[in-house]
A and B are shown apart, each in its own frame.
Chain A
Amino acid sequence: MSDRIEKSIEVKATVSRVWRALTDHTEFGAWFGVKLDGPFVVGKASSGRKINPCEGYENVPWKTTVVRMEPERIFAFTWHPFAIDPKRDFSDETQTLVEFTLQPTATGTLVRVVESGFDKLPPERRLEAFPKHENGWVAQMENIAKHVHAA
């Protein structure tokens, strides 16, 4: 397990309904805030533009590559992380993997999202082959940071 962000939310809707909201490109665009050019297809890039709720479509490109679609279970894509300034060309920069998983619950669906791979350096910046992570470092980083602040 490597570095990652994990989030989950329970929604009062069936797994099929949530699956559609995730994987139908028009529905995805509606809640996510992007205008997508076409449907999601595994192994294919999906492109579009970000939507600014006040001004309509911004001239900010949005691009992902769909890597996995297991009906009503898993939807995954790679992209350039959220917090990157979208105004620059980041085509060579870090890509992370975003993976949605759906699980039925008594009252609806548990939606889990995991974003991982923040440590991937663009090839030309790679200094050396870093060993594979065996443990998540986020928790350990928290410990170190706490330690630092306590010092």
Chain B
Amino acid sequence: MSMQLEASHARVFAALGDETRLAVLARLCEGDPQSISRLTAGTRLTRQAVTKHLRVLSDAGMVHSMRIGRESRYQLQPKPLEDVRDYLAEISRRWDDALGRLKAHVEGLEGS
């Protein structure tokens, strides 16, 4: 795993660690690219707040923006989410192996 990839994982994790951003992401999951107005509709969030959160998500590679007419629309990029999930799954697997070896060791079944 490259250093850059590692740092980008950390950035994705950090970006996910916020309730509002998770809510914004969940809204973006709903389908077509959405405008800021649509993302703020029905919430207590201001345009500025949503814009700021979108920037964090975009820096982490999870949101892509495009211009349609006069407004920007935002679209979810699921790849970073899938990458960090794979990363955690790999670490999880290694812990399963390590705990299995610990068990074998203390139960006197070494060499398995």
Contact = CB atoms under 8 A, between A and B. Distances in A.
Interface of A: 2-3, 5, 7-9, 11-13, 17-18, 21-22, 27, 30-33, 81-85, 88, 90, 93-94, 111, 113, 115, 118-122, 125, 127-128, 130-135, 137-138, 140-145, 147-148, 151
A130 B16 CA distance: 10
A147 B3 contact: no
Interface string B26-48: 10011100000000000000000
A12 B107 contact: yes
A118 B106 contact: no
B107 A131 contact: no
Given A5-B91, A7-B95, A83-B94, A151 B31 contact: yes
Interface of B: 1-3, 6-7, 9-11, 13-19, 22, 25-26, 29-31, 56, 59, 76, 78, 81-82, 84-85, 87-88, 90-92, 94-96, 98-107, 110
Contacts of A128: 56
Contacts of B104: 31
Given A21-B106, A81-B91, A141 B17 contact: no
B92 to A, nearest CB: 5
Nearest to B23: A140
A17 B101 contact: no
Given A93-B6, A120-B14, A125-B11, 18 more contacts: A3-B16, A5-B88, A9-B103, A18-B102, A21-B106, A32-B98, A93-B7, A113-B95, A121-B14, A127-B59, A135-B19, A137-B17, A137-B22, A141-B84, A144-B22, A144-B81, A145-B85, A147-B26
Contact of A118 (B2, B9, B100): B9
Nearest to B96: A7
Contacts of A33: 101
B16 A7 contact: no
A115 B92 CA distance: 9
Contacts of B88: 5, 118, 138
A123 B88 CA distance: 22
A145 B12 CA distance: 13
B85 A13 contact: no
Nearest to B52: A128
